[in-house]
Amino acid sequence: MNQFLSEEKATRNRKLRLRTYRVVPLSPIAGVLEWVENTLPWGSYLVNRTSKRLSAHERYHPHEWKHTECRQYLKNAPDKLTAFMEIQKNFTPVFHHFFLEKFPDAAVWYRRRLAYVQSAAVTSIVGYILGIGDRHSQNILIHEETGELVHIDFGVVFDQGMALYTPETVPFRLTRDMVDGMGVSGVDGVFSRCCEVTLQLLRKKSASVVTILEVFVHDPLYRWTLSPLKALRIQGGEQGSKSMRSRNSSRNSSFNGTGSTDGQLEEEMHSEPGSTDAAARALIRVKQKLEGYEDPNGSALSIEGQVKQLMSVAQDPHNLCKLFPGWAPWL
């Protein structure tokens, strides 16, 4: 992907790139990941307190709602939209302070914030095309020296986020704190333009992109589809797994008139759908995105129109309020 970005004039002149890290596979299910130096989780800066320092939200808005309060409020609310709007009233974005704290020199501050906006645009569009989900606040790192974003944990790809226990409803993370770091223009200007040139490049290179993905999705050694158990664990942990077992116990005990053991249930939950069909559907959706079809039954959108619609969907409170509370859509 970085090779594509370096070949096109519009993306090369803007120095657009994806921050990557090395992965050394040791077996089909294990490997060694590079430790990305000089980074911290994006969410940790915003809401995680350390022994030496309060979180950014606690420092700049100490009397507002705490992160944990917001999570519980949204989780327990019967009307998610009303609850989400109330959270927004009591939780002010603060991410622009990151650049003021780290880069006091005006010229450096400008360059680092620009790098942040550009990296946010590239990762948003590439992540959307590949259907990368589970973009909660700890799966996005911020580089403390360059200001660029580094995404980690790609266990949910090809729109498998829609199969999670609480389905994901946004194409990428474009929440208020993300936008707060972009300055007064927000998503208008640099962000939207970088999204457009990135999408234009991917459309131009669509044949190459699809060819690479075909190899990936048809790899018999890699399970990219989510089993029900894995999907539940992503959002609910071990407790979620126990809940699913409890809900299914009645059905399992009466199936064929015999009881089902934990091992049989585990095997059922890990069973994969037809890999060929799943791969075909994933590739068809990637092709539709690259051709501008947000609605498979609608008309193809222009590059500008597609970017505008994606940003609108990503920022729509009606979509954000439906997300799993652990995703922290108020950040």
Radius of gyration of the chain from Cα atoms? 21
Q: Kindly give the residue spans of alpha helices, DSSP state H, lying in the chain.
A: 2-7, 9-13, 42-47, 56-60, 67-76, 80-89, 96-102, 106-130, 176-180, 190-204, 206-217, 228-254, 262-270, 275-290, 303-315, 317-320
Evaluate whether 233 touches 240 at the Cβ level (below 8 Å). Answer: yes
- Please name each of the domains of the chain with its CATH number: 38-221+277-327 (1.10.1070.11)
pLDDT for 240: 44
pLDDT of res. 32: 95
Instruction: Show the low-confidence residues of the chain (pLDDT under 70).
Output: 220-222, 224, 227-229, 236-275
- Asked if 273 and 279 count as a contact pair (C-beta separation under 8 A), the reply is no
- Kindly state the tokens that stand for 214: 């075909």
What per-residue confidence (pLDDT) applies to 322? Answer: 96
Give CA 317 to chain center in angstroms. 17
- In this prediction, residue 81 carries a pLDDT of 98
For residue 25, the surrounding DSSP H or E stretch is: strand 23-27
Q: What is the pLDDT of residue 245?
A: 46
The whole-number pLDDT of residue 239 equals 44
> 192: how many CB neighbours lie within 10 A of its CB?
18
pLDDT digits (tens, 9 = 90+) for 98-133: 999 999 999 999 999 999 999 999 999 999 999 999
Q: How far apart are CA 202 and CA 8, in angstroms?
A: 10
pLDDT of residue 221: 58
What integer pLDDT is reported at residue 263 of this predicted model? 46
pTM equals 0.86
* Predicted local distance difference test score (pLDDT) of residue 236: 67
pLDDT tens digits for range 276-287: 777 888 899 999
Query: What is the per-residue DSSP string for 195-223?
Result: HHHHHHHHHHTHHHHHHHHHHHHT-TT--
pLDDT at 318: 98
